[in-house]
Structures are given as C-alpha cells and as structure tokens.
Amino acid sequence: MTASGRRIYLDYNASAPLLPEAREAFVRALDITGNPSSVHAEGRRARAALEKARASVAALVGASPPQVVFTSGASEAAATCLTPAWRDAGRPVSLPRLAVLDTDHPCLREGGRFVESDVTRLPVERDGIVDLKSLGAWAEEGPGLLALTFANSETGTLQPVEAVAAICRENRIRLVLDVVQAAGRLPIDTLLPLADALILSGHKIGAPKGVGAFVLRSEDARPEPLLTGGAQETRQRAGTEALPAIVAFGAAADVAMQSLERAGELAGARRHLVDRLARLDPKLVIGRPETTLPQTVAIHHPSLKAETLQIALDLQGIAVSAGSACSSGKLGPSHVLASLEAAGAPIDAKAGAIRVSFGLETSLDELDAFATAFERIWRRSVGDEDPKAA
C-alpha cells in the first residue's frame, strides 16, 4: 500500500473510473419502466431518455443523433463494422479485402467478419506510425476496407488520419476509425468527415462497462448488421437497448466534452512524469509527445520484465498495465512491441512495457508516488542502489 494508505489507479486506458454523473444517470434510468420501442407513455419516456443520450454521444464526435448506433461495447461495434457486406442507399456493396495495422487493438487486428485470408496486417514505422507506402500499395489493389486504431491503447501513438484518409479517398477504400482511447482526451469531432464510421466505448470515458457505439458518417452507407431480429437502432442492432447503461454513456459523453477544455492539464501531467523518468534514463519512455495521447506513458527497459514490474507496483498499491487489457492476460510478448521492434525501434519485445494512463482526477503527487516506486525497482534491476533516490 502507498504511504497515504490508499491505492493509486493509473490504468485509465483499460477502464476509467465511473464518473459520479454517469452513476447518477444510471441509477435514475433504473426507474424508467418502459421499453423504448413501446408507444405508451412509459415507452415514450424511455425513448426520450435514449434519444437524449444519443444526442450527447453524437455531439462528442460532431455527428447528428441518427448517425449513432448503440452496442454492448467497442468490440461489438468493431465486429459490426468490419464486414465485407455494406449497403449504400439500400444497395448491397461488397468489400472483398480488409487492412488493419499490425499494432491495432485485437478487436480490429483479428479481422471482424472477414475471413483470415482476406485480411492484411500493415506494418508500422519504428515510432508506431503506419507505413504509408505499404498502405498506398495495398489500397491501389482495389476496393476494400481499412480499419485503424487512431490512438494505440498500449503506447498512445496517434496515427496521421488525414494522410490515411487521403489515400483511402483516392482508391475508394472505406475507413473505420477506432477512437476509443482518444475520446474525452483529444478533440475528435473533425475525424468523422474523414471516415465512414467511428467506434466508441463507454467505460473508457467514465460510463459503466457494457456499452459502446459506432457512428456513421452517412446514414445511407452502413454495414450489414451483426445482430438481427428486431428493428431497434434503425435495424442496425437488434435487441432492446440497455437503457441505464446508455443513459450513463450519454452523461459521460457530456463530461468528456467539457473535459476537452482541460486537455492541456493532461499533457502537462504527462510532461511532469516523463521529465522525472528521464532523470533515470531518457530512453525509458516509448513515443514522442507530439504524436502520443496526452495522458499515456509507455515505459520500457530491457532489464525489467513488464509483468514483474506490474506485480511489484501492485504490491505497493499502484495499479498500472502491462499491455492492452484485451491481451495482457495472454502469455507471450505484446504484438504492439513486437511490431515496433521489427520496424527497428530499440525495444526488446520479450521484456514488455508497462503503461501508465491517468485522468484529470489524477494528482501530480500520485504520479510522483509512482515515479518514486518505479525508481526504486529500476535501480535494483540495474544494480544501482541509491540511498538518495527520490
């Protein structure tokens, strides 16, 4: 446990703490009896709450409410959008190929509803940015779909969406963007005009787990639904909507919009932590600040096994991650670090990396407490026991 006697949570990229506003909205929605599809007064009340939440999520990405389709989370949204079967104005459209980044989140990287032989995993440069030449060569081969994680969940690396979108437009490639980690941390309302769909997750911005959405640029261009059998969500996702979770998602989206005004505070906190780590070794932190999420710090050292470091910090009351929450429970090196190493980055993928991710609620004192604990462990690992370590 930390000196203060309480734990320090630094794993916001895995799941942000539930916001009070989202909790209150969730509890209030539990008292809404009606089904949003019912036409009586109770049903209309449920429908009104649903549509209010839809408008809030739409505002977060600069969309209109009808463009938002609620799902059980980002993984379901990805499985829906990553399909070779789309429709344009009701007419079927076939997309025979899919490209993803080798560093993408597993919900994209594994190809959704495409067969494995039709999925291409594109390489990245040593800094984690997509290899635009490889993307261009793939795009020139004919129609297809590109799915891209805008902000990498492990390293925080941001992709050059405008350059990617230009290649897609030139070659009639549809683009699906996973903006899960960027929502509420960076403005994302300029991204929808560049893509065919955006993917969101509620619990990454302080809503309950189990709710997400995909947002379509055009109501006419849409993927064939994954879940059929009902007319909910404009026939894009059958099943009665999880109203309390969706209402809480809307409340969290409202807070996320307001939080953008304080994004500079996140970047400042990141600089504070990176500066402290640089005193130990300037090569500890992966990525450049100008192309990294403002609240994500990926730390790598070949003498430290990430899992060992994670456990040591956990025993001291500090929660960090040793990779994406959707893959860190698996044995073997991070596919993200393996891709960076293959591209020439000075990384030992077998050692792994820890990810520190935080929010506006995180204090500089908490980041300093992490840095102090990390320094002690790091010095032992390199045989440099410093009794004056801060």
- Tokens standing for 368? 């300093």
C-alpha to C-alpha distance for 229 and 235, rounded to whole angstroms: 8
Angle (CA) 82-88-89 rounded to 5° is 140
Which amino acid belongs to residue 92? P
The pair of structure tokens assigned to 67 is: 């463009």
Backbone angle region of 304, left / alpha / beta, with phi > 0 → left and psi within -120 to 50 → alpha: beta
Q: Among the options 81, 107, 168, 326, which is catalytic?
A: 326
- Annotated active-site residue 168? The verdict is no
Please give the structure tokens belonging to residue 189: 């309302």
The candidate with the shortest Cα–Cα distance to 358, out of 371, 345, 348, is 371
Residue 252 DSSP SS3:
helix
Q: Closest Cα partner for 196 from 54, 294, 50, 98?
A: 98
Q: How far apart are CA 252 and CA 244, in angstroms?
A: 12
What is the Cα–Cα distance from 316 to 337, expressed in whole angstroms?
26
Q: What are phi and psi of 248, to 5 degrees?
A: -65, -35
Of 252, 366, 385, nearest to 3 (Cα)?
366
Token reading at 200: 């969101």
CB-hemisphere CA count at 13 Å for 353?
Answer: 29
Catalytic residues: 326
